[in-house]
Every structure is written in C-alpha cells, then in structure tokens.
Amino acid sequence: MAGAPGHVVLVGLMGSGKTTVGRRLARRLDRPFVDADEEIERASGRTVAALFAERGEDGFRSVEADVLADLVARSDPTVVAAGGGVVVTEANRALLASPGVFVVWLDGSPAFLASRAKPKPHRPLLEGEDPRTVLSRLHAQRAGLYREVADLVVDVEPFHREGERSKARLAEHVADRVRHHEDVTVEQPAP
C-alpha cells in the first residue's frame, strides 16, 4: 500500500539553496511551496529584521515556531523552505520528526555556503561579521541538530557549482527520494 503524500521540509544553513530548490521541488511534486521566512513576515505583520530588532532572536524564534506548527498542521501536502535556524528550537525538532514530515538537509561546507549566502535584510545574523566565520560557527552548533531530524542529507556543493542544469538535477534527485519514501511507507494499523 502506498503511503500518503506528506509535507517536505528543507532545512540547512543560509546559502544552501532551500528556497531555490524548494520552488523547483514543489513544481515537480505538484505541491504548494511556502518559504517560512515569508510566512513569518505575513503572519506577524513585521519583517524578519524588525522582529530581530524589536523582540530579539528569542522573539523571532517564538514566531518561527508558531508558523512551523501551522504549516505542519495543514492538510494539503506542502513543500516548505524553513529558515536556517528552525532546528535550534526543541519543539520544532519534535514537529519535524513527526511521521507525515519528510525532512531534507541541504548541506555544504561553511566556506562554500558563505560564498553563496548573500547578506539580505532577513539575515541579521550575517550583519557585521565575516559570513565565513558566522557560518562556521552555526555549522558547528547545528550540524548535529540537522542530522537528528533529517530523512535525507544532500551535499549541495556539486549541484550548485555546475549551474542551472544541475539545480534541476538536485530538485529531481530530492523529488525521487520523496516519491520513493512515500511509495514504501506502509501505514501501520492502530494497535
């Protein structure tokens, strides 16, 4: 018996390509796509930068957790590009580990990610410090947490290095793994 389609959540550090890959993946799986940072801004009526400035990182994390809980509760299977720090909140890790959620960790070396992660208003953690230093620190802090929740880990470096075609291959690779996972998931009868 085929498993029901569920949510797919992309996690990984800034610069790993969660949004780009997520959009392509959603098209391939024919599911809606949601960028969690955009959803946080919509739900709170504030920009990510304003949330950090007015409520600090803890305030931002609390809105992020509410938004993730709402996204995972949707009945419509959805592809979500999470913010890079989604895994630091324990409640989020528990949600990501739930059975209807397939988590993909897009990984790469801090140096490579730093070469891609553009400083943007929604990335206050990159302000005023060398991105390589920030991403090395975050990679050391978070790699174990990403690993804890991931159903699939992809090294994105070769894909991003080779241009547009290889981005399409990356999305197709992830889509294949999701389809395979959903084909082989057999619902267990209630005890």
Binding footprint of ligand S3P on the chain (CB under 6 A): 14, 18, 37, 48, 83-85, 122-125
Q: Which is nearer to ligand S3P, 147 or 180 (CB)?
A: 147
Place of tokens 């930068």: 49
* Least Cβ distance, residue 58 to ligand S3P (angstroms): 12
Take residue 14 and report the two structure tokens written for it. Answer: 């800034």
* Least Cβ distance, residue 110 to ligand S3P (angstroms): 12
Query: Residue 9 has what DSSP assignment?
Result: E
* Least Cβ distance, residue 182 to ligand S3P (angstroms): 25
How would you class 58 by CB atoms within 10 Å of its CB: exposed for 0-12, middle for 13-18, buried for 19 or more? exposed
Q: Which is nearer to ligand S3P, 100 or 121 (CB)?
A: 121
Ranges of beta strands (E only) in 47-171 are 79-81, 101-107, 152-155
Q: Which is nearer to ligand S3P, 101 or 126 (CB)?
A: 126
Q: Which is nearer to ligand S3P, 26 or 48 (CB)?
A: 48
| 102 touches 178 (CB < 8 A) | yes
Which residues, in sequence order, are bridge partners of residue 106?
A: 154
* Least Cβ distance, residue 27 to ligand S3P (angstroms): 19
Query: Residue 162 has what DSSP assignment?
Result: T
